[in-house]
């Protein structure tokens, strides 16, 4: 299967593809080499025959890609193992297809997802990113978030639409810049230039699709017509060029258009004018529109205009706050002309609106004001679909909740009665009431005390629904599918009322409604109450033949609940089919040991490594096994063998490994047959909602529909527009199949000790400060002289060097020089480690640099005269297990030094009650995962977590950024450190600069 990549350069969409079956290396030694496993342009065009224009250009581009001397790194979607050493950017001549920018939108729509998931190609992350960007560009055009411009392209005047990116759209643009896969700009250009070029092109194309062609007197203006008329016509024409236009005329028309676009982006001040729409009191007709000033950074800082005129103030307000308010109202009146009357007052603070004016404000003015950067507060019901459907079901003979589905005889083929009612707001209405509302044609109405907004499309859909079948009988499975489908776009399913076992399932709260199952007799230990509820939920889904996603927080015992489920099925002589358990290689031993500890009666076999059983021996192993544990890599390699078995269940541990639906690994796992499936993950969504679809597609194939439908129904409305209705619908659709509990919730687990997080501030030594400053000066000069991917690589290299200086001079110099007395961080670590050892405790010390851990381990062991264990990616599985076992069971105080990448997940190290992050990855999720090696079930003491930070350096400044944007930390720094590379040189100089006052 080909893996298709996407990029953008010089106004064109670039497509190229990797073929995992081609040789990965090349013996060529030339500086510019052919990409060894790239598909020919003809081969790619043949694979994408229905998705790209037949006349797409064929070319050979030099792409900057990470790799080794023998070849580029394969993308994750290929399922191939990348090289781990000697990786650097290199130039690779790659066959590509080139699609002009004005045809990129339709191409990206077709390339968003293969029509056949098992077809000849799958999109890589770069292509999926560009497809999502194209969808956002179309949405911008649909919402009118664009302005016309006159630009010069290749020396010819051209009419173009350009997006307006203010308010939430400006934030979305920044998120897109941070999230851009580097491959998108492999053909050259910075992330900002690449993103702007692609977004401009797709927004312009979308505008031309959405707007009818404008003709004057039935024809396009000719070349001698007025330039203004020709320009207006070009904005909707297939050919936007204006050949023959005089430079003076172009400049005269372009200048005010450019000023218009600049003015649209002005509203980025720290204090903004805000508007609040207030509903009438019961029995009254007048609406209120209150004026106020509001902090753009912290919307909770809010000063009503009435208070402003009486002299009240708020933090951040300028001395002439009255001028700020009046100037803002003056700009806003252009977007809502009805405010003219209020501005006749010397000190305007509010105005009254009729119902018609309130509706005009809701539908037209409010979106324009928000997009222009003004604050807008609307009633909670505003913007929601007012008309929806309520589904009521009743089983033929209701079974009390809590009994096992099998014992009650309930299954998905069980017939249930159903009724569908129309809902407006929060009230059920009759067809007669609906007809009366449609006759009145009032856009804002009060229904049983609640205001709702009605539009013609929703009313038309509701009237059509009245004529369809509204009650009768369906199978439980058909009801379930209706809930997942969520109704129609204009008539969503907003409420479900079901009873009995079906109600338990559809509630999304079955874990609470089902009676907990007791700990099975073969389980060595006692399940906690929430684990018994989890077992009940898992067993309930199993009896219905449904899969689930157990998404409990790390450390809450997903392993114990899974083992108890297997034992429950085997109580009273049950003989279910074998379970295939797929996990990362680092967790194979963990599953073996946990099964031996909690469920010794289960027969567990490992299918991994060169000595694993095959053919007849494998079939014999199955007959003697309850659980077969294998790895994701082995499952891919032995797919043919595993697909020949009808498994009772497939369990995917750390199921984020299959979050990318297009990878060979995910496709392989999904293709293995099983009666039911279970995904175990603490992070069902890490980056985007497509990951949730991929995991759900494994657990319950086809339940959420195709990836394309999921993207249109849920992903784009939620991620691009923040659609509350789509969010509620997705929660209703997935809720029955996802169980998520957090260990911070005291109602779940009250006996887990506290986690105390603190920052350990360290000063640089004079030697460190000198090295730090030298690196800054040297690297900034290099960065200023580079661009594109080369610049990004230089920024990452500079950041790495500065972090190494903060660790220790010898880490940067790699000269084998002595360690003591030369690093503020190391001095603080020695002091802290001595205290920990003297108290008889154990500690985990995480570093992201293996070479530094190798330097640190013998030094600390000698200084402390205590064991210092060192776990890194180069150790064998047996050695890893030996170190973990010694740390957990040896009573002697000791330190465990760990590589963050090799040991940040999957290990149980509750013998430690101290965690030290020596150098930080600047990704809160990664740090939390590492900390949870100690802070998990089995921990009986409070856990002290310390994060080392060198004051006055980039470590302190980036920590401050994370603290300021805590709510957005996962999206801002969620991909590690790459986002820093997009800062301009002045921002980098400020970030890297050393505060000499912090040097000791």
Structure tokens at 412: 């998905």
Top pLDDT among 87 and 806 is at 806
190 Cβ neighbours under 8 A, 6+ residues apart: 787, 788, 791, 792, 982
Residue 956 has pLDDT above 90, yes or no: no
Task: Compute and round to an integer the Cα radius of gyration of the chain.
Answer: 31
Say how many Å lie between the first and final Cα of the chain, rounded: 58
Top pLDDT among 680 and 510 is at 680
**Is the separation of the CB atoms in 361 and 378 below 8 Å?**
no
User: How far apart are alpha carbons 866 and 858 in whole angstroms?
Assistant: 10
User: How far apart are alpha carbons 926 and 65 in whole angstroms?
Assistant: 26
Stretch 593-604: mean pLDDT: 90
- C-alpha closest to that of 416 among 505, 509, 479: 479
What pLDDT is recorded for position 217? 47
Top pLDDT among 146 and 647 is at 647
Residue 286 has pLDDT above 50, yes or no: yes
Top pLDDT among 981 and 956 is at 956
Q: Give the relative orientation of helices 191-210 and 104-111 as an angle to the nearest 10 degrees.
A: 100
Residue 440 has pLDDT above 90, yes or no: no
Residue 981 has pLDDT above 80, yes or no: no
pLDDT in tens, 627-681: 999 999 899 999 999 999 999 999 999 888 888 887 888 899 999 999 999 999 8
What pLDDT is recorded for position 145? 84
Secondary structure class of 152 (helix, strand, coil): strand
783 Cβ neighbours under 8 A, 6+ residues apart: 791, 794, 795, 798, 985, 988
Top pLDDT among 207 and 729 is at 207
Residue 554 has pLDDT above 80, yes or no: no
Residue 84 has pLDDT above 80, yes or no: no
Q: Give the relative orientation of helices 985-992 and 954-964 as an angle to the nearest 10 degrees.
A: 110
pLDDT in tens, 714-761: 888 887 777 777 787 888 888 888 888 876 666 666 656 778 788 888
Burial of residue 962 (CB within 10 Å: 0-12, 13-18, 19+) is middle
**How crowded is the C-beta side of 394, counted as CA atoms within 13 Å?**
7
By mean pLDDT, which of 50-59, 751-760, 855-864 is the weakest?
A: 751-760
Strands 493-498 and 387-395, how do they pair? parallel
Q: What is the overall mean pLDDT for the chain?
A: 83
Top pLDDT among 284 and 404 is at 284
What pLDDT is recorded for position 972? 30
Strands 287-295 and 350-353, how do they pair? antiparallel
Q: What percent of the chain has pLDDT over 90?
A: 28
What pLDDT is recorded for position 660? 82
Stretch 254-280: mean pLDDT: 81
Query: All domains of the chain, ordered by start, with CATH?
Result: 2-210 (no CATH), 271-377 (no CATH), 387-506 (no CATH), 510-739 (3.40.50.10810), 755-998 (3.40.50.300)
Confidence of residue 410 (pLDDT cuts 50, 70, 90): low
Residue 348 has pLDDT above 50, yes or no: yes
Stretch 2-7: mean pLDDT: 93
By mean pLDDT, which of 322-326, 450-454, 734-738, 876-880 is the weakest?
A: 450-454
Residue 432 has pLDDT above 70, yes or no: yes
User: How far apart are alpha carbons 721 and 168 in whole angstroms?
Assistant: 9
What pLDDT is recorded for position 288? 94
Q: What percent of the chain has pLDDT over 70?
A: 88
Stretch 897-918: mean pLDDT: 85
Confidence of residue 930 (pLDDT cuts 50, 70, 90): confident
Biggest alpha carbon distance in the chain? 93
Residue 86 has pLDDT above 80, yes or no: no
Stretch 343-348: mean pLDDT: 91
Top pLDDT among 184 and 172 is at 184
User: How far apart are alpha carbons 629 and 613 in whole angstroms?
Assistant: 12
For residue 20, how many other CB atoms are within 10 A of its CB? 16
Confidence of residue 15 (pLDDT cuts 50, 70, 90): very high
- C-alpha closest to that of 184 among 25, 31, 53, 12: 12
pLDDT in tens, 223-259: 788 888 889 888 888 889 998 889 999 999 999 888 8
Residue 792 has pLDDT above 80, yes or no: no
Q: Which helix (H) or strand (E) holds 256?
A: helix 247-264
Could you give the C-alpha distances from 392 to 64, 107, 464, 500, 546, in angstroms and in order?
A: 58, 43, 19, 12, 22
**Angle formed at CA 314 by CA 312 and CA 315, multiple of 5 degrees:** 150
Residue 966 has pLDDT above 60, yes or no: no
Alpha carbon 9 to its chain's center? 26
Q: Where are the alpha helices (DSSP H) in 59-124?
A: 104-111
User: How far apart are alpha carbons 885 and 890 in whole angstroms?
Assistant: 8
């Amino acid at each position: 299967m080909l893996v298709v990549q996407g990029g953008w350069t010089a106004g064109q969409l670039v497509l190229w593809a990797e073929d995992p079956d081609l040789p990965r290396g090349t013996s060529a030694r030339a500086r510019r080499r052919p990409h060894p496993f790239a598909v020919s342009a003809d081969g790619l065009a043949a694979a994408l025959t229905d998705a790209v224009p037949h006349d797409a250009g064929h070319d050979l581009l030099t792409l900057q890609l990470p790799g080794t001397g023998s070849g580029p790194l394969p993308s994750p979607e290929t399922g191939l193992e990348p090289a781990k050493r000697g990786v650097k950017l290199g130039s690779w001549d790659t066959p590509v297809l080139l699609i002009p920018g004005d045809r990129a939108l339709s191409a990206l729509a077709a390339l968003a997802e293969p029509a056949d998931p098992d077809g000849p190609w799958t999109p890589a992350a770069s292509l999926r990113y560009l497809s999502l960007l194209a969808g956002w560009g179309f949405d911008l055009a649909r919402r009118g978030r664009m302005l016309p411009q006159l630009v010069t392209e290749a020396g010819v005047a051209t009419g173009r639409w350009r997006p307006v990116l203010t308010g939430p759209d400006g934030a979305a643009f920044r998120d897109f810049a941070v999230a851009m896969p580097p491959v998108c700009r492999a053909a050259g250009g910075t992330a900002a230039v690449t993103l702007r070029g692609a977004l401009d092109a797709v927004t312009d194309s979308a505008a031309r699709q959405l707007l009818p062609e404008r003709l004057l007197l039935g024809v396009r203006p000719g070349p001698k017509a007025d330039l203004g008329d020709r320009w207006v016509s070009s904005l909707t024409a297939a050919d936007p060029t204006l050949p023959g236009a005089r430079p003076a005329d172009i400049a005269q028309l372009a200048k005010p258009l450019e000023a218009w676009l600049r003015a649209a982006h002005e509203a980025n001040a720290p204090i903004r004018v805000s508007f609040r729409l207030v509903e009438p009191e019961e029995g009254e007709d007048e609406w209120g529109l209150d004026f106020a000033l509001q902090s753009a950074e912290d919307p909770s800082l809010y000063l009503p205009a009435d208070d402003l005129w009486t002299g009240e103030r708020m933090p951040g307000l300028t001395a002439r706050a009255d001028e700020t308010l009046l100037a803002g109202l003056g700009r806003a009146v252009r977007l809502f002309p009805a405010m003219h009357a209020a501005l006749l007052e010397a000190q305007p603070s509010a105005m009254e609106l009729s119902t018609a004016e309130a509706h005009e404000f809701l539908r037209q003015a409010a979106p324009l004001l928000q997009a222009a950067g003004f604050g807008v507060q609307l009633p909670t019901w505003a913007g929601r679909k007012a008309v929806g459907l309520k589904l009521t079901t009743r089983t033929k003979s209701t079974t009390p909740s809590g009994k096992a589905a099998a014992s009650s005889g309930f299954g998905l083929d069980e017939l249930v009665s159903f009724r569908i009612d129309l809902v407006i707001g929060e009230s059920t209405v009759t067809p007669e009431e609906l007809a009366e509302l449609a006759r009145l044609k009032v856009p804002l109405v009060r229904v049983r005390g609640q205001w709702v907004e009605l539009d013609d499309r929703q009313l038309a859909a509701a009237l059509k629904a009245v004529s369809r079948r509204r009650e009768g009988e369906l199978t439980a499975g058909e009801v379930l599918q209706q809930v997942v489908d969520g109704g129609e776009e204009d008539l969503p399913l907003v409420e479900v009322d079901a009873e009995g076992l079906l109600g338990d399932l559809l509630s999304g709260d079955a874990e609470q409604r089902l009676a907990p199952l007791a700990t099975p007799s073969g389980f060595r230990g006692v399940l906690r109450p929430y684990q018994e509820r989890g077992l009940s939920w898992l067993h309930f889904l199993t009896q219905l033949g449904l899969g689930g996603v157990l998404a409990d927080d790390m450390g809450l015992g997903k392993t114990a609940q899974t083992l108890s489920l297997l034992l429950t099925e085997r109580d009273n002589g049950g003989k279910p089919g074998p379970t295939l358990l797929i996990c990362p290689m680092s967790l194979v031993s963990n599953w073996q040991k946990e099964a031996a500890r909690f469920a010794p009666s289960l027969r567990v076999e490992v299918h991994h490594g060169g000595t694993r059983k095959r053919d007849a021996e494998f079939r014999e192993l199955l007959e003697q096994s309850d659980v077969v544990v294998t790895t994701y890599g082995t499952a891919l390699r032995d797919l043919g063998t595993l697909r020949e078995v009808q498994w009772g269940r497939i369990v995917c541990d750390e199921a984020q490994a299959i979050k990318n639906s297009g990878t060979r690994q995910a496709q392989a796992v999904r293709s293995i047959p099983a009666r039911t499936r279970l995904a175990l993950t603490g992070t069902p969504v890490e980056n985007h909602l497509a990951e949730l679809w991929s995991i759900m597609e494994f657990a319950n194939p086809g339940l959420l529909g195709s990836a394309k439908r999921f993207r249109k129904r849920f992903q784009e409305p939620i991620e691009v527009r923040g659609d509350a209705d789509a969010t509620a619908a997705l929660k209703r659709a997935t809720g029955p199949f996802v169980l998520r509990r957090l260990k911070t919730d005291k109602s779940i687990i009250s006996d887990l000790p506290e986690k105390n997080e603190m920052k350990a501030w360290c000063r640089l030594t004079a030697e460190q400060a000198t090295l730090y400053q030298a690196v800054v000066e040297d690297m900034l000069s290099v960065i200023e002289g580079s661009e594109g991917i080369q610049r990004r690589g230089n920024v990452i290299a500079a950041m790495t060097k500065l972090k190494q200086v903060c660790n220790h001079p010898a880490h940067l110099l790699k000269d084998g020089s002595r360690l003591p007395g030369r690093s503020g961080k190391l001095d603080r670590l020695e002091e802290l480690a001595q205290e920990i050892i003297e108290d008889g405790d154990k500690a985990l010390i995480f570093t992201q640099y293996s070479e530094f851990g190798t330097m640190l381990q013998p030094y600390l062991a000698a200084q402390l005269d205590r064991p210092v264990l060192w776990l890194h990616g180069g150790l064998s599985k047996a050695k890893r297990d030996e170190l973990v076992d010694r740390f957990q069971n040896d009573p002697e105080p000791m330190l465990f030094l760990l590589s963050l990448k090799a040991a940040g997940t999957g290990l149980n190290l509750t013998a430690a009650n101290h965690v030290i992050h020596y150098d930080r990855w600047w990704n809160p999720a990664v740090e939390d995962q590492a900390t949870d090696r100690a802070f998990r079930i089995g921990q009986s003491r409070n856990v002290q977590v310390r994060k080392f930070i060198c004051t006055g350096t980039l470590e302190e400044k980036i920590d401050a950024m994370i603290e300021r944007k805590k709510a957005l930390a996962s999206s801002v720094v969620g991909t590690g450190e790459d986002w820093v590379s997009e800062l301009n040189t002045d921002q980098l100089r400020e970030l890297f600069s050393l505060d000499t006052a912090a040097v000791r």
